């Protein structure tokens, strides 16, 4: 049975349709894998009984015949920042330790409608506020490849879960790379779609949205399968009012104009740079037209931090109300910093988002996609200070956001879709990711390109 947990979502869905395997067998295999890998601490809540009950219903539907939805019988998990009706949703915080929502997030509801079966909620730092896979509520999540390095954050548990067969799919959230960073650290695929393609109605400010819901999986095909099931407009979403060019595909590496961003204004580790360049050369050998693209992503770190900190202060500050002992010091520090910004500073930061959007659009007049390393260096040590500076090749490069992931947070500000796919490993066996970004609403084309690229790297 254990080998069933290692099937991809695409394989599971196909096997269920062909009656080669039962949804009950799939769910049992995944739940067993979750129980066997408790050492990784990827789940806050596991829905053993609920998942098995849903699996039995799914099996009945298979046996009675008729058309099945695209993810019928496929187990999946959800990051514990997304609401799940009747299932505890903690936000990774003791403040919400006993919170049980009455309604699903749109992405969760659509996953259910597509036939997927929820097996549990995955770990995240409190409110996804920092680049560390730890929380006062659940402790520390470990990287399955090397427990001495971080699995990335804040969709930590989701990346670890899909990497180890604890469900082939997971719904993550991405507020600055929070799906793509852990995906790169764990050697899997993380996708941040265009703004408005997957509704995220839990955000208090939909007009200024910079957090996204996106699928995570071991393969691009699985990400695309889930994306097709949960994307689409929503009457209540400010950016989701009309059908977009989501299904405009036809993209291929042959003749594709690729802009290669080698540094983005930051220092890139020598080994990371070499492996990324080798991956880009494979794209070129496959027929892509590669040229250098230059943009100073790192200079936008203060913009990102202003919006992040002010948003956290506004949303979570009122929740403390003298309960500081329940939360981490880093969250308190972030709230304090957020409360210190002026309205003018926030307005200037929002204006800078427009400037960044225009810079990227100018590049997309020359290129079809942009590629770069996902991270400037391999996964950092597990005990790295998320509020301190980091070293790359022995050089102090500044704070973690601008120094380690300057390639991921810009798309949260600009709204462009982006994906990370594994592209190689360091000499010590740590995974590295290639980051691919496309114009707005070219999500399907981006996934097609990523599928071709993935085949070159495996």
Start-end of H helices in 68-146: 106-113
> What does the pLDDT read at residue 338?
98
Question: What is the average pLDDT across 338-353?
Answer: 98
CA 288/CA 439 separation, integer angstroms: 17
When pLDDT is cut at 50, 70 and 90, the band that residue 48 belongs to is very high
> What does the pLDDT read at residue 251?
85
Domains along the chain with CATH numbers: 1-458 (3.90.1300.10)
CA 141/CA 45 separation, integer angstroms: 14
CA 405/CA 321 separation, integer angstroms: 33
Preceding amide of 416 cis, omega within 30? no
Using the Cα atoms of residue 107, residue 108, residue 112 and residue 117 in order, give the sign of their dihedral. positive
When pLDDT is cut at 50, 70 and 90, the band that residue 260 belongs to is very high
**CA nearest neighbour of 195 among 353, 372, 402, 368:** 353
Contact (Cβ atoms closer than 8 angstroms) between residue 224 and residue 421: no
Contact (Cβ atoms closer than 8 angstroms) between residue 173 and residue 203: no
Question: Is the overall model pTM greater than 0.85, yes or no?
Answer: yes
- H/E stretch holding 416 reads none
Q: What are the structure tokens assigned to 256, written together?
A: 């594709």
**Residues annotated catalytic, as ranges:** 79, 154, 178
Three-class DSSP category at 312: helix
> What does the pLDDT read at residue 49?
98
DSSP letter (8 states) at residue 157: H
CA 306/CA 409 separation, integer angstroms: 13
pLDDT for 119-136, tens place per residue?
999 999 999 999 999 999
**CA nearest neighbour of 436 among 314, 203, 280:** 280
Residue 89 — φ and ψ, nearest 5°?
Answer: -130, 105
Mean model confidence pLDDT for the chain: 96
Percent of the chain with pLDDT over 70: 99
When pLDDT is cut at 50, 70 and 90, the band that residue 245 belongs to is low
When pLDDT is cut at 50, 70 and 90, the band that residue 194 belongs to is very high
Contact (Cβ atoms closer than 8 angstroms) between residue 3 and residue 48: no
CA 293/CA 441 separation, integer angstroms: 21
Asked whether the predicted pLDDT for residue 246 surpasses 70, the reply is no
Q: What are the structure tokens assigned to 390, written together?
A: 């980091």
CA 421/CA 454 separation, integer angstroms: 7
> What does the pLDDT read at residue 249?
76
Asked whether the predicted pLDDT for residue 306 surpasses 60, the reply is yes
DSSP letter (8 states) at residue 379: P
> What does the pLDDT read at residue 352?
98
DSSP letter (8 states) at residue 311: H
> What does the pLDDT read at residue 241?
86
When pLDDT is cut at 50, 70 and 90, the band that residue 250 belongs to is confident
Asked whether the predicted pLDDT for residue 242 surpasses 90, the reply is no
Asked whether the predicted pLDDT for residue 5 surpasses 60, the reply is yes
When pLDDT is cut at 50, 70 and 90, the band that residue 4 belongs to is very high
């Amino acid at each position: 049975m254990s080998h069933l947990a290692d099937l991809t979502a695409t394989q599971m869905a196909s096997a269920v349709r062909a009656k080669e395997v039962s949804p009950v067998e799939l769910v049992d295999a995944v739940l067993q894998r979750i129980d066997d890998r408790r050492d990784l601490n990827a789940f806050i809540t596991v829905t053993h009984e609920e998942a098995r009950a849903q699996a039995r219903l799914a099996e009945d539907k298979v046996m009675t015949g008729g058309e099945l939805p695209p993810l019928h019988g496929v187990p999946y998990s959800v990051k514990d920042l997304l609401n799940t009706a009747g299932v505890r949703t903690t936000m990774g915080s003791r403040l919400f330790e006993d919170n049980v929502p009455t309604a699903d997030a749109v992405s969760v509801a659509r996953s259910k409608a597509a036939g997927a079966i929820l097996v549990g909620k995955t770990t995240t730092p409190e409110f996804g506020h920092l680049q560390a896979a730890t929380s006062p509520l659940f402790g520390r999540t470990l990287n399955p490849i090397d427990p001495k390095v971080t699995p990335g954050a804040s969709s930590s548990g989701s990346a670890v879960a899909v990497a180890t067969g604890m469900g082939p799919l997971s719904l993550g959230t991405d507020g600055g790379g929070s799906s793509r960073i852990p995906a790169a650290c764990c050697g899997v695929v993380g996708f941040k779609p265009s703004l408005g393609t997957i509704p995220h109605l839990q955000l208090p400010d939909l007009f200024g949205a910079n957090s996204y819901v996106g699928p995570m999986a071991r393969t691009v095909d699985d990400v695309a399968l889930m994306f097709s099931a949960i994307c689409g407009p929503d009457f209540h979403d400010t950016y989701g009012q009309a059908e977009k060019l989501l299904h405009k595909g036809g993209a291929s590496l042959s003749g594709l104009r690729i802009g290669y961003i080698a540094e983005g204004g930051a220092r890139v580790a020598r080994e990371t740079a070499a492996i990324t360049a080798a991956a880009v050369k494979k794209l070129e050998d496959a027929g892509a037209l590669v040229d250098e693209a230059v943009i100073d992503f790192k200079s936008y770190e203060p913009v990102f931090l202003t919006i992040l900190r002010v948003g956290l202060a506004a949303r979570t500050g009122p929740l403390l109300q003298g309960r500081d002992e329940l939360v981490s010091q880093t969250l308190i520090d972030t709230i304090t910093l957020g409360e210190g910004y002026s309205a003018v500073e926030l307005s200037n930061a929002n204006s800078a988002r427009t400037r960044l959007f225009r810079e990227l659009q100018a590049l997309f007049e020359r290129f079809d996609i942009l590629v770069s390393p996902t991270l400037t260096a391999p996964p950092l040590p597990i005990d790295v200070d998320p509020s301190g500076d980091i070293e790359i090749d022995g050089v102090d490069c500044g704070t973690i956001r601008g120094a380690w992931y300057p390639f991921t947070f810009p798309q949260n500000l600009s709204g462009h879709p982006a994906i990370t796919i594994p592209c190689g490993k360091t000499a010590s066996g740590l995974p590295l990711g290639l980051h691919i970004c496309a114009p707005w609403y070219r999500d399907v084309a981006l996934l097609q390109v990523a599928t071709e690229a993935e085949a070159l790297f495996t």
